[in-house]
Amino acid sequence: MTFCRTAALDHIKQTTDWDIVIIGGGATGLGIAVDAASRGYRTLLLEKHDFAKGTSSKSTKLVHGGVRYLAQGNVKLVYGALRERGLIFQNAPHVSFVQSFVIPTYSLWDKWKFIIGLKLYDWMAGSLRIGKSVIRNKQEVLSMLPTLQPKGLLGGIQYFDGQFDDARLAINLAQTAAEHGATLLNYADVTNITKNKQSYVSGLSFTDRTTQQSYTISAKAVINATGVFVDDILKMDSPSHTNLVRPSQGTHIVIDKHFLGDKDALMIPKTSDGRVLFGVPWHDKVLLGTTDTPLEQHQIEPKPLEEEIDFILKTASQYLTQAPQRKDIRTIFAGLRPLAAPTKDKQSTKEISRDHKLIQSSSRMITITGGKWTTYRKMAEETVDLAVKTARLPEQPCQTKHLPIHGATSTRYEGHWQVYGDDYPRIVELMQTHPSSAEKLHPDYDFRMAEVIWACQHEMVVKLEDFLARRIRFLLLDAKASLEAAPKVAKLMAEQLGKDEQWIAAELSDYQELVETYIV
């Protein structure tokens, strides 16, 4: 199966029955598609928006066991996540990287508490450990983080964790699933869950949002992997359903690297309100975040709250001598975490499970929610195992533990080209064959016109936003600069996708409206 919308729609029209249909094209859904397809099941994935449009493209960009969860005593969660971190490094080395972190210490108690905890963290990773935690003195810490506040600083702990590009891994998972025979479709809005005479789920209906054409399909197993939107699908199954998820918003700001540095990351394990704050180098910028704000409502484009922006900037000013101001923010973005709803304190996200939940409804629809990017593969394995049992499919062993993800290569390329992995030489060839495609999208950034062509031909872009926000990460790196590049990109996309001037105008209008929510 090629990774192409036209081919996907043709295959849907020709296929009367599917083994497994997945609703949701974020980290969890895409992981399930890879697992199911690699076991040989007839697999279809439907995503209402673009792949990883929601939570899965707006993470802190860390592949980690979760130091904070170890401090909370959740050893099982950390142990499993560290194992999965190692597998991501093995299976997707082109989009995952070892990242050095420094925890500054201002008391002897903190120094020994953190080093003991992080030595345990290293030990739990076993053979998949990616670095060794060490104590650093004050001079060493300041050489690693030159803008760190020196007053009262005794030294710090250096430890190692993982970093990745979330949206790029997502698109590579989609491509991997397709290469193993899965059919995937973005901008496919599920509108109805169908059931048989025994009231068991037997399929669903969806609408292709690009043409408004509707389809009804049959399926032996239907999996709801829609993150913060799982309750919307569950209410299609059972109108009396009580909400399972309580969303929590995490906001990040993006600033220039001179505020922190471009090599080592900063980790503040406990801020004034008990939250963790990261300062992480990413694509030649620095991400500062994240917040943890409980919300009553969920939406596909959550807006950062003023108090979240103030919290991040205020906390940064307590630790950095060159503290960023609002005018220094290149981009601000928020993502919603699908956390299991609390039963006690409804204003506290500390009572909410960080682990995933796997549920089978009385209708035999399967729902998976919660969890984190790092554990996507294991979550997918458990979900497919349950789907196979529920639908009585022929049992096949999981194949994903050592399955290379599309683009996987040990070769390292300079700059943002690294995330293309072994697709990069083909993009270079495109620029050599068509020199005009080597033109930059923006004078300040190394994104090229060839990447637009590549995304249109091989990465299933539908909207201007899909390319600027997720195929390349321009929107999340510099929102205003991405808007300046938008007309050039829209024109080339229209040529590649066979669209007219009206489409260009509509896309530019939509994108400008979106960018307004990413700037302060």
CATH number at residue 142: 3.30.9.10
Are 154 and 257 contained in the same domain?
yes
Are 319 and 455 contained in the same domain?
no
CATH number, domain with residue 423:
1.10.8
For the ranges 241-245, 306-310, 429-433, the lowest mean pLDDT is seen at: 241-245
Contact 474, 481 (CB under 8 A): yes
Categorize the per-residue pLDDT at 81 as very low, low, confident or very high, splitting at 50, 70 and 90: very high
Q: Which of 343, 342, 344, 393 is nearest to 366 (CA)?
A: 393
Q: Region 91-99: what's the mean pLDDT? A: 97
Q: Region 152-160: what's the mean pLDDT? A: 96
Is 439 inside any structural domain? yes
Contact 121, 78 (CB under 8 A): yes
Categorize the per-residue pLDDT at 438 as very low, low, confident or very high, splitting at 50, 70 and 90: very high
Tokens of 277: 């704050």
Categorize the per-residue pLDDT at 451 as very low, low, confident or very high, splitting at 50, 70 and 90: very high
Are 172 and 143 contained in the same domain?
no
CATH number, domain with residue 13:
3.50.50.60
Instruction: Kindly report the average pLDDT of the chain as a whole number.
Output: 93
Write down the residue that tokens 């801020």 correspond to.
Answer: 271
Is 130 inside any structural domain? yes
Is 380 inside any structural domain? yes
Measured CA to CA, the distance from residue 278 to residue 268 in angstroms comes to: 6
Are 252 and 209 contained in the same domain?
no
Question: What are the φ and ψ backbone dihedral angles of 120, each rounded to 5 degrees?
Answer: -65, -40
Contact 43, 15 (CB under 8 A): no
Q: Region 502-511: what's the mean pLDDT? A: 98
pLDDT at 353: 45
Is 66 inside any structural domain? no
pLDDT at 292: 86
Write down the residue that tokens 């401090």 correspond to.
Answer: 71
Measured CA to CA, the distance from residue 51 to residue 63 in angstroms comes to: 19
Higher-confidence residue of 346 and 359: namely 359
Contact 430, 474 (CB under 8 A): no
Q: Region 420-430: what's the mean pLDDT? A: 98
Q: Region 230-245: what's the mean pLDDT? A: 91
Is 84 inside any structural domain? no
Are 336 and 266 contained in the same domain?
yes
Is 43 inside any structural domain? yes
Q: Which residue range is the domain that position 174 belongs to?
A: 5-55+167-244+348-391
Are 223 and 262 contained in the same domain?
no
pLDDT at 352: 36
For the ranges 48-52, 120-124, 437-441, 501-505, the lowest mean pLDDT is seen at: 120-124
Percent residues over pLDDT 90 in the chain: 84
Query: CA 481 → CA 399, 443, 486, distances in Å?
Result: 42, 9, 9
Q: How many domains does the chain have?
A: 3
- The length of the chain in residues reads 520
pLDDT at 354: 54
Categorize the per-residue pLDDT at 273 as very low, low, confident or very high, splitting at 50, 70 and 90: low
Is 81 inside any structural domain? no
- 491 dihedral zone (left: phi>0; alpha: psi -120 to 50; beta): alpha
pLDDT at 343: 44
For the ranges 220-224, 259-263, 373-377, 497-501, the lowest mean pLDDT is seen at: 259-263
Q: Region 347-373: what's the mean pLDDT? A: 76
Are 429 and 466 contained in the same domain?
yes
Are 131 and 257 contained in the same domain?
yes
Strand partners, 389: none
Are 448 and 316 contained in the same domain?
no
Residues 323-349: tens digit of each pLDDT? 999 999 999 999 998 876 644 434 333
Residues 274-321: tens digit of each pLDDT? 778 999 999 999 999 988 888 888 889 999 999 999 999 999 999 999
Q: Has residue 144 got a pLDDT over 50?
A: yes
Are 512 and 437 contained in the same domain?
yes
Is 77 inside any structural domain? no
pLDDT at 341: 62
Measured CA to CA, the distance from residue 257 to residue 56 in angstroms comes to: 24
| DSSP letter, residue 286 | E
Contact 362, 22 (CB under 8 A): no
DSSP collapsed to 3 states, 208-220? ECCCCEEEEEEEE
Task: Find all residues with CB under 8 Å of 346, minimum gap 6, and list them.
Answer: 246, 294
Q: Before 290, cis peptide (omega within 30)?
A: yes
Categorize the per-residue pLDDT at 216 as very low, low, confident or very high, splitting at 50, 70 and 90: very high
Measured CA to CA, the distance from residue 99 to residue 63 in angstroms comes to: 10
For the ranges 3-12, 151-160, 245-254, 483-492, the lowest mean pLDDT is seen at: 245-254
Q: Has residue 350 got a pLDDT over 60?
A: no
Q: Which of 512, 463, 455, 518 is nearest to 485 (CA)?
A: 512
Q: Has residue 520 got a pLDDT over 50?
A: yes
Are 271 and 152 contained in the same domain?
yes
pLDDT at 296: 81
Task: Find all residues with CB under 8 Å of 116, minimum gap 6, and list them.
Answer: none
| 151 alpha-carbon distance from chain centroid | 37
Are 440 and 468 contained in the same domain?
yes
Higher-confidence residue of 248 and 405: namely 405
